[in-house]
């Protein structure tokens, strides 16, 4: 069923097509779309998908980013290439993380933005994570975000994501499209009567802030800062504030009686500590993005200092390898083709903990493959294992020995089978699909020089997606015509700029000519 939003996107893309190919009428484009759907869609290619295929055939480049800016209330979990103007509410420090795809370090920071329609969190990835602090963004500043994509967050709310192709810039007062300074959002504790999020609260500090430790479920410890703020109307009324995992030194330097504005806190209803009557009370809770507006310059200095001290050394991102490992039982989920020089072969193995290892067999271990097939249970005797990257290597004959045990506790290759609509980033999957276009090969410039890449648009009754194969694996997708049914086995789901795609690995398999 086509929604109004889908139709608007389609019309926007259709308009882009017409501007680049004015000699082709709208009716002719629609006829080409219908023809494409009839030939290669298998009954499930969408109008948008068919339009992209038609555009590709005619050398037309379509881009969602050409659509107009939207408001925060217009966002939904599947919007891509979105442009938006809003104001800064608060920032969080830059953190490091380890990518699942290559075990390399990356950067992430959070930015909260608002407009007259709502508040949304923004995840800034890698180089973009450093922009807010380095550009001296401040709460209340008007900014423009371009080429972002939207996803659902862990709490069910929406999150804008700004990656490599995204943009983030400050607007001056003449460019701002709204009149909503942060001060207009401020409330006092007298008006807070229920649970709420993204609050800006004014009050007077009561007493001195205190820092405490708490225990996490995993056994590690964290810190919190607690303080109280008083009412502007009632000298006897105050509200407890708890700010979790925020090391901003500004918080502990607040003075008794000082008037402050807390930015980005939430109100929480619960039972008062030590109250046996069961009476409920309201507290304010914050996190690492919570800011004291009056001390923004000090906070900005802290943000810059914490960013400059990050350790991005690759030596800290990968677990050390171990040798002389104890053999373990696993199942063969997929067997790739031998390398072009016949010196190695790659397998996908799975153990009883459901960990999927990419196994590289070289030298004498290659002979073991001739005796194995998919779903065999084997004893693996690796020379080295990378438990972070889930990779192992075998070089000796007999490194993989088939055993007769059935081992129902170890997943079989059938557990990889799924559909396009259920794909999740980082997973390894198998799908029965139809090619929606002919495969296309080209030379792509990478840091290692020019390499060959073949790509193919594929679909099943639940959706469509792009499939890529690089270097010598690209020959697996050569000369695949539109309308070809096939199984693609043990391919990896990846995501770039909010768009999922499938990537062939050395252990992947392709089965054509399905009946």
Measured between alpha carbons, how far is 154 from 156 in angstroms, rounded to an integer? 6
- The Cα 227–Cα 229 span in angstroms is 7
Which residue's entry shows tokens 């105050």? 238
d(CA 88, CA 403): 61
Residue 274: what pLDDT?
Answer: 52
Which pLDDT value is given to residue 67?
Answer: 47
Q: Report the run of H or E that residue 489 belongs to, with start and end.
A: strand 485-496
Q: With beta carbons less than 8 A apart as the criterion, state whether 382 and 393 touch.
A: yes
Note the pLDDT of residue 291.
95
Instruction: State phi, psi for 385 to the nearest 5 degrees.
Output: -140, 130
Predicted model pTM: 0.52
Select from 37, 47, 36, 46 the least CA-distant residue to 14: 47
Determine the pLDDT at residue 361: 93
* Residues of the chain scoring pLDDT < 50: 1-4, 64-68, 175, 314-324
- The CA distance from 30 to 35, in Å, is 9
Residue-wise pLDDT for 424-468, tens only, equals: 888 899 999 988 888 888 887 665 567 888 999 998 888 899 999
CB 356 within 8 A of CB 493: no
Which tens digits make up the pLDDT trace of 134-157?
Answer: 888 999 999 999 888 888 776 667
Q: Give the position of tokens 């109280």.
A: 228
> What is the structure's pLDDT at 321?
42
Count how many Cα atoms sit within 13 Å of the Cα of residue 259 in the half-sphere of its side chain. 4
3-state secondary structure of 440: strand
- 3-class state of residue 415 by DSSP: helix
Contact residues for 306 (Cβ-Cβ < 8 A; gap 6+): 93, 94, 247
Report the pLDDT value the prediction gives residue 376, as an integer from 0 to 100.
94
Q: For residues 87 and 166, is the Cβ–Cβ distance under 8 A?
A: no
pLDDT at 275: 54
What's the pLDDT at 104?
72
Return the pLDDT at 156: 67
Contact between residue 477 and residue 439 where contact means Cβ atoms under 8 Å apart: yes
Coil, strand or helix at 498: coil
Q: How many helices (H) and strands (E) does the chain have?
A: 5, 28
Instruction: Supply the pLDDT for residue 9.
Output: 67
Residue 467 near residue 502 (C-beta atoms within 8 A) = yes
pLDDT for position 338? 83
């Amino acid at each position: 069923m086509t929604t109004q939003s889908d139709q608007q996107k389609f019309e926007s893309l259709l308009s882009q097509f017409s501007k680049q190919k004015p000699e082709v009428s709208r009716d002719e484009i629609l006829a080409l779309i219908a023809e494409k759907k009839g030939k290669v869609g298998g009954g499930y290619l969408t109008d948008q998908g068919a339009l992209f295929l038609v555009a590709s055939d005619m050398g037309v480049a379509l881009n969602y980013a050409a659509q107009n800016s939207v408001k925060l209330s217009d966002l939904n979990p599947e919007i891509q290439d979105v442009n938006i103007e809003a104001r800064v509410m608060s920032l969080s420090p830059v953190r490091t993380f380890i990518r699942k795809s290559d075990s390399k370090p990356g950067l992430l920071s959070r930015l909260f933005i608002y407009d007259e329609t709502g508040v949304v969190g923004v995840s800034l990835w890698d180089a973009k994570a450093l922009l807010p602090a380095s550009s001296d963004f401040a709460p209340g500043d008007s900014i423009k975000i371009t080429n972002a994509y939207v996803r659902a967050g862990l709490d069910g709310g929406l999150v804008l994501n700004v990656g490599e192709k995204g943009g983030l810039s400050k607007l001056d007062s003449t460019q701002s499209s709204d009149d909503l300074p942060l001060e207009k959002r401020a409330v006092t504790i007298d008006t807070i009567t229920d649970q709420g999020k993204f609050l800006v609260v004014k009050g007077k500090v009561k007493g001195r802030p205190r820092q405490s430790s708490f225990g996490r479920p995993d056994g590690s410890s964290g810190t919190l800062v607690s303080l109280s703020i008083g009412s502007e109307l009632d000298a006897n009324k105050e509200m407890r504030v708890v700010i979790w995992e925020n090391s901003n030194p500004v918080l502990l330097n607040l003075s008794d009686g000082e008037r402050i504005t807390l930015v980005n806190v939430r109100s929480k209803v619960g039972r008062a500590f030590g109250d046996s009557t069961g009476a409920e009370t309201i507290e304010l809770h914050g996190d690492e993005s919570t800011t004291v507006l009056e001390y923004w310059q000090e906070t900005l200095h802290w943000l810059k200092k914490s960013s400059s001290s990050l350790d991005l050394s690759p030596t800290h991102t990968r677990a050390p390898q171990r040798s002389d490992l104890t053999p373990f039982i696993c199942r063969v989920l997929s067997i790739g083709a031998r390398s072009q020089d016949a010196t190695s072969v790659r397998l996908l193995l799975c153990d009883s903990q459901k960990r999927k290892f990419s196994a590289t067999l070289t030298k004498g271990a290659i002979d073991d493959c001739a005796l194995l097939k998919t779903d065999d249970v084997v004893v693996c005797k690796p020379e080295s294992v990378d438990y972070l990257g889930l990779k192992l290597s075998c070089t000796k004959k007999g490194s993989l020995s088939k055993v007769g045990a059935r081992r129902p506790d170890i997943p079989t290759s059938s557990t990889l089978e799924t559909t396009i609509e259920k794909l999740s980033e980082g997973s390894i999957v198998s799908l029965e699909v139809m090619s929606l276009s002919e495969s296309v090969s080209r030379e792509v410039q990478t840091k290692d020089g020019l390499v060959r890449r073949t790509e193919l648009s594929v679909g099943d009754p639940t959706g469509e997606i792009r499939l890529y194969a690089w270097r010598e694996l690209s020959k697996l997708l050569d000369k695949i015509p539109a309308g070809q049914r096939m199984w693609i086995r043990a391919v990896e789901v990846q995501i770039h700029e909010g768009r999922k795609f499938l990537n062939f690995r050395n252990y992947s398999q392709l089965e054509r000519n399905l009946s």
